[in-house]
Amino acid sequence: MGGTMETTLEFRLAAGDTGALGECYREHSPAVRSYLRKLVPPQDVEDVLQVVFTEVWRFRHRFDPGRSLAAWLFGIAHNRAVDHLRARTPTTVPLEAVPDPAGHDGRRDGDELADRDRVLRALAALPQVQRQAIELAYYGDLTQREIAEHLRVPLGTVKARTARGLHRLSALLEAA
């Protein structure tokens, strides 16, 4: 893009030129959209993209026109994607909803069902906070950090609950 420095897209955007926002969107939204597709679920990309460009306009006074506009846009996109993912509630499946596993020949294996029932009974005997941490880790497929965020407790608390719960679970299963 040619012209004096004061007429570049970066300077016009920082100065509050509404036409510059449209031009910025036309020029940069395909790349930002592609970046967001790597971070957020497909059904949420357009919503997060809209939030990104809304923030570009709202915080245009923070943009230094001497710096890279693309880098600033991607920084905003990254932050909004992270915020979007943090706001989502991880889906957990109750143990009762988990289907019985099929045996190696496609039929239900009686021994595996008996083992599953032993584990369910042992889990039910655990204190609620330990059971919850173990269920989120093993049935919800969450990391300990994700569990801490979901439960709004410190990471160390989740680690302690999980370790104590697994230790007690092991003792309960040995006794059964």
The confidence score (pLDDT) of residue 89 equals 75
Backbone angles phi, psi at 48, to 5 degrees: -65, -40
Instruction: Give CATH 1.10.10.10 domain extents, the chain.
Output: 95-175
* Contact (CB, 8 A) for 85 and 41: no
The confidence score (pLDDT) of residue 160 equals 94
The confidence score (pLDDT) of residue 1 equals 45
95-175 has CATH 3.40.50.300 classification: no
Provide block-wise average pLDDT over 10 residues at a time, the chain (176 residues).
Answer: 64 90 93 94 94 94 90 96 86 72 60 75 91 88 90 92 91 85
Task: Record the pTM.
Answer: 0.49
Tell me the two tokens of residue 79.
Answer: 């932050």
Alpha carbon distances (Å) from 8 to 16, 50, 63, 74, 170: 13, 23, 14, 19, 67
The confidence score (pLDDT) of residue 161 equals 92
Give CATH for domain 5-87.
Answer: 1.10.1740.10
The confidence score (pLDDT) of residue 107 equals 58
Alpha carbon distances (Å) from 111 to 3, 103, 119: 77, 9, 12
Instruction: Give CATH 1.10.1740.10 domain extents, the chain.
Output: 5-87
